[in-house]
Amino acid sequence: MWNLRVIRLLLSVAVLLVSGTASAHPHVWIRYTAQVQMQGTSVIAIAEVWRFSEGFPVQLVGIDALPDNGPLDSKQTAIFREQAFSSLAGTQYFSHLFADGEALTLGDPIGFRVSVDHGKLVYTFTLPLRKPIDVTARKVSLGIWDDSFFVDYEPDGANAVTIGGHAAATCTAKPFTDHAHPIFNGIVLPQAIALAC
């Protein structure tokens, strides 16, 4: 007969192996677009759209059914904001804005909306900057990523990040591999966008 201590030890090892395997890959997949809102040569906000992979477990937020397509009502949106979105504040909603390599603090999100598009959950929101940053005075870049393995962010197309608002005609958003901010325990170099005018 198995010793109770041996059984506990084997169960502990099994749990560690399963949790290690589970944490070695993303649990949530998101394709994003972002519009860098500018006034002249200054960034004033980042407007984002996150499109979740099919099968995002909406039951986690306590909602049993969603519309097939279209916006959620205000009550359902409030539940998503409270149960799933607001908890991301400490990560700045996975949005990383740097000026000369220094991380900038973004303001609280505004205009948070939730919809369903062809069976996929979609978040739409805007992150205003606490203070506008002039891209002609500093080297500015934007990246959208999770430093851990939990959420995998991918740009939604080749031009996923664009310039908008009242930007100077010379302003550009150019993708690059961000060697300064490796993610996933240093094994992945994320894509970022250099903002310049």
Residue pLDDT, tens place only, 37-88: 999 999 999 999 999 987 666 666 667 778 889 999 999 999 999 988 999 9
In this prediction, residue 127 carries a pLDDT of 99
Range 125-149 average pLDDT: 96
Q: What string of H, E and C letters represents the secondary structure of the chain?
A: CCCHHHHHHHHHHHHHHHHHHHCCCCCEEEEEEEEEEEEECEEEEEEEEEEECCCCCHHHHCCCCCCCCEECCHHHHHHHHHHHHHHHHHHHHHEEEEECCEECCECCCEEEEEEEECCEEEEEEEEEEEEEEECCCCCEEEEECCCCCCEEEEECCCCCEEEEEEECCCCEEEEEECCCCCECCCCECCEEEEEEC
Residue pLDDT, tens place only, 147-185: 987 889 999 999 999 999 999 999 999 999 999 999 988
The whole model's pTM is what? 0.84
CATH number given to 26-196: 2.70.170
Range 96-123 average pLDDT: 95
Q: What is the mean pLDDT of the chain?
A: 86
